[in-house]
Structure 1
């Protein structure tokens, strides 16, 4: 005798393909955002406190005063850290805000490239991973 069972919704981290990776990636994205936000805060404080901490490499089209860049990184770092904390706590707004702020952070790091080229490239890669992880985790029951 066989009994028919209704298909169950897959739980977080289960299912086919990369959903387990995406679910774990979402948690990791929250941690990365929290750490990247704290580092952005420190980067902003360094830019505000003393203008000679960073040296620009070559001439660049997107020029801002280093104090301005310091404030940009400080505010963006605070927002990214708060959003990372929200993602770790499972807040509803966390994923959408995380994708938006990661995209803004990618653009800011691209514009910041002449001042810290290696760190800017690492931050851009982190932002791309965060966007991927937050967009691919369908654990909230959204249609696949």
Structure 2
């Protein structure tokens, strides 16, 4: 019979304390998932702010020159941003609450959000680059340890 240096036999069955600690750990999201949830929440919040800026005064977000931005109607694009941002914020909350469907939804929404930010780059290049970078970080966080989270 195998034993530890202290004379306590090793068993295959975890003790009540070990089971309680494992239950507490599983009740709280892992660091990756929690960080993805917070980052998704922040990225969605930035998208909502951009959307409100475009809806409330589309003259403020136009680029100088005769060409203007790649988006034809910034007011309509602003509404798309507001709706997308709200969905991202809610998905971030779902991730923090460890809802299984939220992880799949987050991967889909974040991918779509990153693609939808490319036309915005002509109007707000720095904001678009920051938001796309946040989306890539979120995707990495959600997929790097898919089986362990």
Report the counterpart of residue 47 of structure 2 in structure 1. 40
Report the counterpart of residue 17 of structure 1 in structure 2. none
Where does structure 2 lack aligned partners over 5 or more consecutive residues? 4-9, 15-21, 23-29
User: Does the 8 A contact of 1:33 with 1:80 survive in 2?
Assistant: yes
Residue 29 to residue 49, structure 1, CA distance change in 2 (3 Å) = same
Residue 116 to residue 61, structure 1, CA distance change in 2 (3 Å) = closer
User: Does the 8 A contact of 1:103 with 1:127 survive in 2?
Assistant: yes
- Within the candidate set 95, 99, 106, 1:98 is matched to 106
Report the counterpart of residue 70 of structure 1 in structure 2. 78
- Within the candidate set 112, 116, 131, 2:124 is matched to 116
TM-score by length of 1: 0.77
How far did 1:56 drift? 2.5
How far did 1:55 drift? 2.2
1:139 aligns with 2:148: yes
> CA offsets per residue over residues 64-116 of structure 1, 9 Å max, x none?
21101101101100110000110011111111000001001100111211111
Measured in 2, the distance between the counterparts of 1:117 and 1:105 equals 15
- Within the candidate set 127, 136, 141, 1:128 is matched to 136
Report the counterpart of residue 49 of structure 1 in structure 2. 56
TM-score by length of 2: 0.75
Where does structure 1 lack aligned partners over 5 or more consecutive residues? 12-22
User: Does the 8 A contact of 2:62 with 2:68 survive in 1?
Assistant: no
RMSD over aligned Cα atoms: 2.8
User: Does the 8 A contact of 2:48 with 2:81 survive in 1?
Assistant: yes
How far did 1:5 drift? 6.6
Measured in 1, the distance between the counterparts of 2:129 and 2:123 equals 11
Larger radius of gyration, structure 1 or 2? 2
Tell me the secondary structure at the aligned position of residue 32 of structure 2: helix
